[in-house]
Structure 1
């Protein structure tokens, strides 16, 4: 009789206890959805930017000078345009920053914090955290948090894993770090509490989605089959429909972007149009509330219905 707990078996041969254990490592708990957002707003708008810069090439041991030259465009072109746009609209956003990026561009992070934006943890070198041994993942998470705090003067309260995935240890390590929230998973469209082996953790998930990520539509790699491209007008339409639906639903419009992707002349206007469209619904009671991811997670937890 086969050992039905053996991971070498095909999934349909697993014992129920085996697949149940896998599913319940990290699971969505109670929903944290307020009846209304701050000041009576109907919808929370949470814009985020993953400042990967050179780490996109470095994380896989890459040595391409061309690919590493693409990264600094996020610092030299993308971030200045994004800062200027957000300042013009009076909107605060969240920037998830690998520690290596922060060390390469410390003044970039300090300027963002000085302008009221949030900095969140995004790994050490944009590593694939989901396959790391526990001690390696723990060391990188702690070093990343310490590095960002040393550079910005503020301790991060949230994290977006660089792989948009968890290892079996990630949630426990986030809890150990004392993080208030995570923004890496996709079990819902509203904030929810993360459960670990069925137990409450107190860590709030502010969910992401590939549909609401600029890289899905624009990223390419010259020497691989990764060459998707969607016209900017179509991307705006997708994001705008997501925003309109979130507004009608009374939920969150969360968006993930990358300075080295969205920051080009032919694309940055997408962010401008989205902000204008959101503002056309009004701000405050019955309208939208622009907030950082930390502000959204904290408000959701404190005011869930």
Structure 2
């Protein structure tokens, strides 16, 4: 269990499509929660890959009640409510004597009435669940997001300061005393953000995280909060394990800079806002993106769905039997669902590349449909996991064309990537991929952490014939200089045995180099060491450094095992923390290859 201890809990987040709301959803997903994301805006198609998106109006009692019921039906009882939805008026900042009644009432309707109804129906859902089971629901927590202007006030925001912001100092303590009648361990707390990095400030500054304030005739450089700062405070308060017996409290996320709340930012900056521009632009950004350094480490998370095919091609052996093939069926029946569930929970389903043999596509149609529905990239991996050396040139061509056709029929588009089964490709394979206009391959390792172009016409390395009839002079010559060969447009995403799970953690009875009994923590430490070293290289090289990547290769029959998948989850969560810091970035292989092409073209 993690420090927060939120794994498996169901969280209901309102205002989930706004800047802070998106950050809260991401934070709770990373903590292992099942998340229902509620918003007035219609969800995007990709939202379904990560959370249960529900659309409704929190100020309409029938709507919020129906959304709560829908969430319970899909994700089970709701443990955590993040009452985050709210509006403010950024088009103008009238003094209170000039404030239109319509503005006051619209803000009140959403921020006060809507928050009250959200909390009411969350508690009704909790009450109904406890009456059904006869026991108290565990880890019941409410977190309300408000504003620091509820504490210090803000000129031109009377409607907001007395609305949602005031809830944290009035409704929260009241609910604190009421909620224990329903659930003895339930808690309610609030988060009060100060100024948060939004488009309103970012459009006026070179660095949207910096704000210049005039203080006693001097200009002081100040930092303002990010949506992720607020989200981390929400996750902390949502956790009984982390925040203990706290209830009725309001945590300020303002960096101790209360003075910013007393004045509007244009008064501090000495600039007049463009009211027309503000009026036509949403006050909350549609999505939050952490600024990442140009040379952040690209994490190409991939899965080789070998399943039964792994025992038919490169894994063929006369002694293979029912028990061996059974491990292949485990891959599809158990391993795939477990990995898909994990990727969805962590918000990585759409950032993953699945390399699938044609045999697995046809043997496991339901699992394959679930993989495609997750929004991932689909790449080729042979048909029956054959190596190039097992086939004639015509057989290899037939296999490639068959698998292209299978993926086109399944997804409606042509696959752009390839990984050779057991990494066993040849110069002939490279030429075949170029002929069919593939974008990337991930089978070779001329470099271990840097993408590169494969040669246009690769020359084979000739093995030495040491037979007595041969003179030494026949083999004493250099191999082709790889970096001097003409380049193709086929991007190689380097991959090797140290980046995968199967060889060390999967036992193959008839494969000499398989282990199967390596402690998962050894692999976790090895992969972390790799990232840490790449991180140090990246920091040393600075902005002009080479593109860094780590192609993680998982197999459902290995990483899907009960004693392995927990380590995979810990490692991915560790990477997600680094992603929040801008050190790494999860990308699909096609995105990585496309960015590499763009970078090289710009040099």
TM-score (norm 2): 0.43
Unaligned 5+ residue runs, structure 1? 1-36
Query: SS of the counterpart of 1:247?
Result: helix
Which of 491, 503, 506 is 1:219 aligned to? 506
Question: Does the 8 A contact of 1:157 with 1:180 survive in 2?
Answer: yes
Map of 2:490 onto structure 1: 203
Task: Kindly report which structure 2 residues correspond to 1:46-195, keeping only aligned pairs within 5 A, or say none.
Answer: 46-59=300-313, 60=316, 64-91=321-348, 92-188=351-447, 189-195=449-455
Matching residue within 266, 269, 286 for 2:563: 266
CA distance, structure 1, for counterparts of residue 535 and residue 550 of structure 2: 8
Aligned partners of 2:596, 2:537: CA distance in 1, in Å?
15
Q: 1:232 to 1:148 in 2, by over 3 A?
A: same
Gaps of at least 5 residues in structure 2 are 1-289, 459-484, 539-547
In the TM superposition, residue 177 of structure 1 has moved relative to its aligned partner by: 1.4
Aligned-residue Cα RMSD (Å) equals: 2.1
Do 2:387 and 2:421's aligned partners in 1 also have CA atoms closer than 8 Å?
yes
Q: 1:248 aligns with which of 519, 527, 536?
A: 536
Partner Cα distance (2:412, 2:321) in 1 = 33
Q: Matched residues in 2 for 1:235 and 1:155: separation?
A: 34
Q: Tell me what 2:595 maps to.
A: 299
2:531 is the alignment partner of 1:239: no
The normalised TM-score by structure 1 is 0.82
Match of 1:17 in 2: none
Query: Which gives a bigger RCO, structure 1 or 2 (Cα 8 Å, sep 6+)?
Result: 1
The alignment partner of 1:193 has SS state of strand
CA distance in 2, matches of 1:199, 1:190: 18
Shift in CA distance, 107/202, structure 1 to aligned 2, threshold 3 Å: same
CA contact 1:208–1:254 (8 Å) conserved in 2: yes
Q: Structure 1 225/46 Cα, relative in aligned 2: closer, same or farther at 3 Å?
A: closer
* Separation in 2, partners of 1:83, 1:139: 31
Shift of 1:302: 1.0
Change (3 A) 1:64 1:181: same
